[in-house]
Amino acid sequence: MTASLPTAREPGTAYRIGTVCLGNICRSPMAATVLGELVDRAGLADRVEVSSCGTGGWHVGQPMDERAASTLRAADYDGSDHRAQQLGPGWLAYDLLLAMDEDNLAGVHALAGEVDPARVRLFRDFDPVGPGEVPDPYYGGPQGFADVLAMVERTGVAIVAALERM
Ligand code: 4NP
């Protein structure tokens, strides 16, 4: 049993999903690229927008980490348009913010004070394999990036299935 999606804040406008990590150059842009592509393939592109940000600002304006980008390319996803953005108050208007790990979730809570727990949660709350974190691959080897891709693909499929049921 996976989590259910919160209702749209403004019916009739695009449902906005933001993925959140630390640097916004590895995990959350990988998740947003894959989820965005799955949304597109499902024919939901005019109803759902997906973007990503990081709780830290060190990489703002930079493209994705090359290891993340090449992991995506090898699986036929294109993350070349990504430029890193930092989490700020505007993101709190999203319908759903999905944090990659508990630290990132705490970062959203630190910005927001009180949040609707249905709208700010861990990305893997929707993972059909079970809940958990998407571990930070930045200081590790290629397997970490492959693991991130597998997690975001299977979880993205489940999120799109839930979007189709909305
Ligand atoms: P991300 O990975 O949060 O998945 O984008 C990281 C990127 C950069 C850093 C840490 C994690 N950093 O320390 O610069």
Based on the residue annotation, tell me whether 136 is a catalytic residue of this protein: yes
Q: Is residue 9 part of a domain?
A: no
Domain tally, the chain: 1
Based on the residue annotation, tell me whether 53 is a catalytic residue of this protein: no
Q: Which structural domain range is residue 115 located in? A: 15-165
pLDDT surpassing 60 at residue 1:
no
Q: Is residue 10 part of a domain?
A: no
Q: Catalytic residue, from 16, 26, 27, 124: name it.
A: 27
Pocket probe for ligand 1: among 28, 67, 136, 149, the residue whose CB has the most ligand atoms within 8 Å is: 136
pLDDT surpassing 90 at residue 2:
no
Q: What would the mean pLDDT of 158-162 be, rounded to a whole number?
A: 98
Report d(CA 89, CA 82) in Å as an integer.
Answer: 20
**CATH, residue 146:** 3.40.50.2300
Question: pLDDT-based confidence at 3, cuts 50/70/90?
Answer: confident
Q: Is residue 136 part of a domain?
A: yes
Contacts with 47 (C-beta within 8 Å, 6 or more apart), sequence order: 14, 15, 163
pLDDT the model gives residue 113: 84
Based on the residue annotation, tell me whether 26 is a catalytic residue of this protein: no
Question: How far, in Å, from the CA of 27 to the mean position of ligand 1?
Answer: 8
Q: Is residue 160 part of a domain?
A: yes
Q: What would the mean pLDDT of 84-102 be, rounded to a whole number?
A: 98
pLDDT surpassing 70 at residue 21:
yes
Q: Is residue 135 part of a domain?
A: yes
Put simply, whether the predicted model's pTM sits higher than 0.75 gets the answer yes
Q: Is residue 3 part of a domain?
A: no
